Structure 1
Amino acid sequence: MLVCSSITAQQDSLVVVEADEKYFEDQFYFGINYNILVSAPHDISQNSFSYGIIGGFIKDFPINKRRNIGFGLGAGLSFNAVYSDLMATKNANGTIAYQEVPDTIDYNRNKLSMNFVEFPIEFRWRSSKAEDYRFWRVYAGFKLSYLFTGRSKFVTSDERIVFSNKDIRDLQYGIYLSFGYNTWNFYAQYDLTSIFEDNVYTVDGEPIAPRTLKAGLIFYIL
């Protein structure tokens, strides 16, 4: 905030700069992370680079006089890809069968893609001041995610199988933590729900209930 006061009685103009003591840390955010499967079925492993991209906006709600402690409430999108050897095939009756990719099949990639609308709510601490835009931060929160597209894709040199996967859980949620200085911040999230709905099994009868651990970087833009 700039407050200008002009003194005309044979004095130079005076410019006074005052900080806004009721500032907010409203922020756009963007992040990229690596998706790690936790509690995957036996003998199922990841391959290639399983990635996630997040972005959105968070509204700041300070709760103390210094305004360095508060809550944040936001909305955003996330785009996720998990590459593994858990192969999904859709039968003629619409059911989906899961198994490890057989050794006899030479394939290019096997991907599960999931895209969500997300609603984070977080507790916020920072070392900020009204006149300082570079500061340390620690944000911890809970994130609710709603699936808007989920697909399985299996690609070989001869065929390409892609279909919408109805077994992916529509409503997922997890806890997360971000901390760092200024723009660069570490980000980690652990999903409390499994990727798939309950009662999804491999062809061998093993339950499929993997969860996702995400680790990467998040950037905040004022």
Structure 2
Amino acid sequence: MRGLLQVLFCFISLGVVGQDIVIFDVQDRKYLEDQFYLGLTYNFLMELPIDVEQRNLSYGLQGGFIKDIPLNWDRTLGLGIGLGYGINSYYTNLRAVEQLTGVEYEILDRTTSYKRNKIETHVLEMPLQMRWRNSTPEEYKFWRVYAGMKLGYVFGNRSKFVSSTEKVGFSNPDINRFQYGLAFNVGYNTFNIHVYYSLRSLFKENASLPTGIPLNLQPLQIGLIFYIL
């Protein structure tokens, strides 16, 4: 009888220990990664017509929330679906002039004196990501590779020209409201490289220079993105 009780006690003890380990592990595996983000980019415009060039510092700021959806037990693979806000400025020598018949565009040559000439957009963004990372419940410094798309709705924009004699700004109807493109983020710990290439032109199809050359300007954003749990 004593031997039977000892064996039974051993099984009960192992069961309790095993249960504690499983419960701890399940709870431990409920962590989520990188749900808030902040980014700073330098904005390029690709496919510029001849004599159109960027000037000053064209920049972008972005921030938002991403819902992390793990796809495996180790949580090294996941999906990210987010919502955020971005503000982008593009400084060029391409001036937009508001007319009664619409918006006309002219190239400012180097003899023209002015302080600023830019297009500014305010965008409601929706990142869609496939995520890989080698994180663990105890490790907060890890490698990450996030790739996917970013959808955007331009809810506000402004073409602005400032010189010593005038200051003109207006909402430009030639800016495409809906934007979308490819996004790629890679990095370790705090600092991560962010690249976004728009698959849609900044301007609508009817926007062109007086010579008839269309303004098919493709935004390219390269910078840093910071993730917060």
TM-score (norm 1): 0.89
1:49 and 2:57 aligned: yes
Q: What do the CA deviations read for 1:188-214 (whole angstroms, capped 9, x no partner)?
A: 110000000112111121111100111
Equivalents in 1 of 2:58, 2:177: separation in Å?
A: 20
- Name 1:32's counterpart in structure 2: 40
Match of 1:187, SS state, is strand
- 1:146-185 correspondence to structure 2 within 5 Å: 146-185=153-192
Name the aligned partner's letter for residue 212 of structure 1: P
Percentage of matched positions with identical amino acids: 46
Equivalents in 2 of 1:106, 1:170: separation in Å?
A: 31
Runs of 4+ in 1 over 4 A off after TM superposition: none
Give the Å deviation of 1:218: 0.2
Q: How many pairs align?
A: 206
1:109 and 2:80 aligned: no
Alpha-carbon contact 1:74-1:120 (below 8 Å) kept: yes
Name the aligned partner's letter for residue 116 of structure 2: R
Equivalents in 2 of 1:41, 1:188: separation in Å?
A: 23
Q: What do the CA deviations read for 1:85-144 (whole angstroms, capped 9, x no partner)?
A: 0011011x1510001014442111101001100001100000101121111100001010
- 1:1-222 correspondence to structure 2 within 5 Å: 18=24, 20-91=28-99, 93-222=100-229
Q: What do the CA deviations read for 1:147-202 (whole angstroms, capped 9, x no partner)?
A: 01111000100100101101000000011111111121011110000000112111
Q: CA RMSD in A?
A: 1.5
Alpha-carbon contact 2:34-2:227 (below 8 Å) kept: no
Distance 1:184 1:104, change over 3 A: closer
Which has the larger Rg?
Answer: 2
Q: What do the CA deviations read for 1:10-65 (whole angstroms, capped 9, x no partner)?
A: xxxxxx9x561232215110000000110012210000000000100111111111
Q: Structure 1: which 5+ runs fail to align?
A: 1-15
Alpha-carbon contact 1:27-1:220 (below 8 Å) kept: yes
Alpha-carbon contact 1:60-1:71 (below 8 Å) kept: yes
Equivalents in 2 of 1:192, 1:79: separation in Å?
A: 18
Equivalents in 2 of 1:21, 1:161: separation in Å?
A: 56
- Name 1:13's counterpart in structure 2: none
- Name 1:10's counterpart in structure 2: none
Name the aligned partner's letter for residue 158 of structure 1: T
